[in-house]
Amino acid sequence: QKEVEQNSGPLSVPEGAIASLNCTYSDRGSQSFFWYRQYSGKSPELIMSIYSNGDKEDGRFTAQLNKASQYVSLLIRDSQPSDSATYLCAVNSRSQGAQKLVFGQGTRLTINP
């Protein structure tokens, strides 16, 4: 089982709709969860972080965390063509005393005008 799993997509959403991206993780001790956006040919860019169960909103983005289900999601409201990118879920994991971020494979999102 992969440590962090995402549906690779592609996920296609019409402009103005809500895009929903999902991620599951295997380490029950994880405490920090991040969403990165990566445009084609560019580096990952941090867009959201969440540490507590529930929802965290930032503009059009909402991150949701459910530690009991080991599930984290990202909602993008009023989707715009500029939101078309690959979204990477990252989860902190502790192994042999060292802590690090483990990334999922990413979900490719396309917003159709």
Partner 1 sequence: DAGVIQSPRHEVTEMGQEVTLRCKPISGHDYLFWYRQTMMRGLELLIYFNNNVPIDDSGMPEDRFSAKMPNASFSTLKIQPSEPRDSAVYFCASSLGPGGPPYGYTFGSGTRLTVV
Enumerate binding residues for partner 1 (CB under 8 A).
31-32, 34, 36, 42-46, 49, 51, 88, 90, 92-93, 95-96, 98-106
Give least dist CB 38 to partner 1, A: 9
Query: For the chain, how many residues are written?
Result: 113
Residues 6+ apart with CB under 8 A from 52: 65
Shorter beta-carbon distance to partner 1: residue 104 or 111: 104
Residue 33 forms beta bridges with which residues? Answer: 50, 91
Give least dist CB 9 to partner 1, A: 13
Q: How far is CA 36 from CA 41, 68, 87, 102, in A?
A: 14, 23, 6, 12
Give least dist CB 14 to partner 1, A: 27
